[in-house]
Amino acid sequence: MHENRGAMCGAGLLLLLAGCAVPGGGFSGQQGPEPGNRRYVNPGTMAQLDGFTHAVRIGFVTYVSGEVPLDSSGHLVGAGDLAAQAKQAFANLDLVLRIAGNVPSDVVKLTVYVVNYQPQDLAVIRQAAPQFFPERNPPAGLVLGVQALPREGMLIAVDAIAEAPALFRPRAGAP
């Protein structure tokens, strides 16, 4: 009788553990996200540059390609106007991040490319997208002056790396 009870408890424990199995791409608690879980983010409502994916998410990290000031039809927004183009490029970045499961505060690295960059341009860029430039704990970043961008008339492109916070993090020292 006691042997059967032990077998039944073992089977119950096995069933319980099987119900807790982590699906592919989930968090195992030991090694983090599954390494082969890639998700390509290419919203059908957004124009994209040929040969590039808007973003690739691997586990909790999202890598966003240079978002540019194109509207959903692929037309340049704000020709000659850095403020208007910055607003559109950051709106595109925000949309791609949200579709990938992130928000602006998840951005850990931000790179801004500006054609014929001048130091006063940074204030214009920050004003266009304050949610990406918080006063406290801003992302690591860089603003680069460039000669040109992929399409005639583009003045700005923005790329980012974001890390979504895990719902459950293993305790320090836990196996």
CATH of the domain at 131: 3.30.1330.40
Q: Is 108 exposed, middle or buried (0-12, 13-18, 19+ CB in 10 A)?
A: middle
Per-residue pLDDT reduced to its tens digit, 101-147: 999 999 999 999 999 999 999 999 999 999 999 999 999 999 999 99
Q: What does the pLDDT look like over 18-72, one tens digit per residue?
A: 333 333 333 323 334 455 689 999 998 898 788 889 999 999 999 999 999 999 9
Q: Is 76 contained in some domain?
A: yes
12 and 63 co-located in one domain = no
pLDDT at 1: 52
Q: What is the pLDDT of residue 19?
A: 35
82 with 16, same domain: the answer is no
- The Cα 86–Cα 124 span in angstroms is 8
> What is the pTM assigned to this prediction?
0.75
Q: Which structural domain, as residue segments, surrounds residue 18?
A: 1-28
Q: Domain total for the chain?
A: 2
